[in-house]
Copies of this chain bind each other. A is one copy, B any other.
Amino acid sequence: MIELAFAKDTNGLLPAVVQDYRTGEVLMLAYINQLAWEKTLETGKAHYWSRSRNSLWLKGETSGHVQLIKEILVDCDQDTVLYKVEQLGGAACHTGYRSCFYRKVTGDALTVHEQERVFDPTAVYGAK
């Protein structure tokens, strides 16, 4: 097992950057703990630790938009990982955009730069 520097964080969490393995687009950032790391390596599907729910999170468990691991890179300090994934369903963001980074800084404001939503969040997750 490859050891990561989980001990550096008081909550035992490290950031995972998620990139589309074909286009190189950064899709999202989430956090992993030791358990999420092991589950990801075991299953080949991206697992994270949900800070809001305080529980293991298989990305796509509700939406079906699972991330299949194609490659994992580890940084110099072993405190950040990079998952190169195939994003099933075509969109990583719960808002329906392909990437969570669908807005860019334009002067003093944020503007949406993605073309369109891939899915309707209400249809996928239900009305909130």
Contact = CB atoms under 8 A, between A and B. Distances in A.
Contact of A104 (B17, B72, B76, B105): B72
A102 B76 contact: yes
Nearest to A113: B73
Interface in A51-101: 71-77, 80, 82, 93-95, 97, 100-101
Contact of A108 (B1, B97, B104): B1
A118 interface: no
Given A24-B25, A110-B2, A73 B19 contact: no
A123 interface: no
Contacts of A2: 105, 108-110
B94 A76 contact: yes
Given A72-B104, A73-B103, A102-B76, A19 B26 contact: yes
28 contacts: A1-B108, A2-B108, A2-B109, A2-B110, A15-B15, A15-B29, A17-B26, A17-B29, A23-B24, A24-B25, A26-B73, A26-B82, A28-B75, A41-B105, A71-B104, A73-B103, A73-B105, A74-B105, A74-B110, A75-B100, A75-B101, A76-B93, A76-B94, A76-B97, A76-B100, A77-B100, A80-B101, A82-B101
